[in-house]
Amino acid sequence: MTTVRTVAAHEVVRAAFPREVTPADELGMVVGKAIDATLSRTSYEYALGRHPTRTAAQRFAAETLDRELEEADLDLAPADRTHQLGVIDAVVQAFRKSELMGLARPRSRLILVNERFGIYAQPDFWDGRDRFYEMKSYHAHPTPPDVVLQVRLFQCAFPSFRAYLASFDRHVQPVATTIEPFPPLADATVVEVLRLGVRTAAASGVDKVLEYTDVPVIRYTLTAEDDGPKPAAP
């Protein structure tokens, strides 16, 4: 059996860009999780031909928001809760009009480096052919470095796919939709990203048995000379 030291992509990002979480950040993360879950559910239902209604999405969003608030031990005044649900609904309506509507969430993949270290990576949506999308409910220009690293990790996990950052900016009305392509990764950037993932896994990863890992595995070999990532033998 092969033991691999593993981390999730978000752990690599957090290790690279640590920051103190404020109460405002906590609420933003809760609302963001409710948005993510509602968009995934709505897109999934649409892909199955069920044509989810706006009312159904609103009900699911309310249930998800309340659950996330409870788990985060946060209280919202009724008026603030109503406001946040209105924000979520506006994002959902913008999402319905976008090219992401009806797309599925891909299975997580394991980036396996030198058969010893692994990074689990899973973007928000893909078309199953040649595109994946990472979704944010805000828009920042230039793209924040933590988001850049996150997308680059996904590019390592989906090397034959084109990467897109889809922003549905909930902080403006009406919600502004921006879908931006990411450039392909240069070999030097792949090395940088993978070495960062390896360092994070070595420091704080969890050991897992590779043979029991039921996800697609994308293998890389890094050389000591840093001259570029070498595809491992199948």
Rg of the chain in Å (alpha carbons)? 19
- The letter for the amino acid at 221 is T
Instruction: Please state the pTM of the whole predicted model.
Output: 0.92
Give 24-64 pLDDT, tens digit per residue: 899 999 999 999 999 999 999 999 998 899 999 999 999 99
pLDDT digits (tens, 9 = 90+) for 114-164: 999 999 999 999 999 999 999 999 998 899 999 999 999 999 999 999 999
pLDDT band at 187 (very low <50, low <70, confident <90, very high): very high
CB-CB neighbours of 226 under 10 Å: 12
Distance, in Å, from the CA atom of 62 to the CA atom of 90, rounded to the nearest integer, reads 13
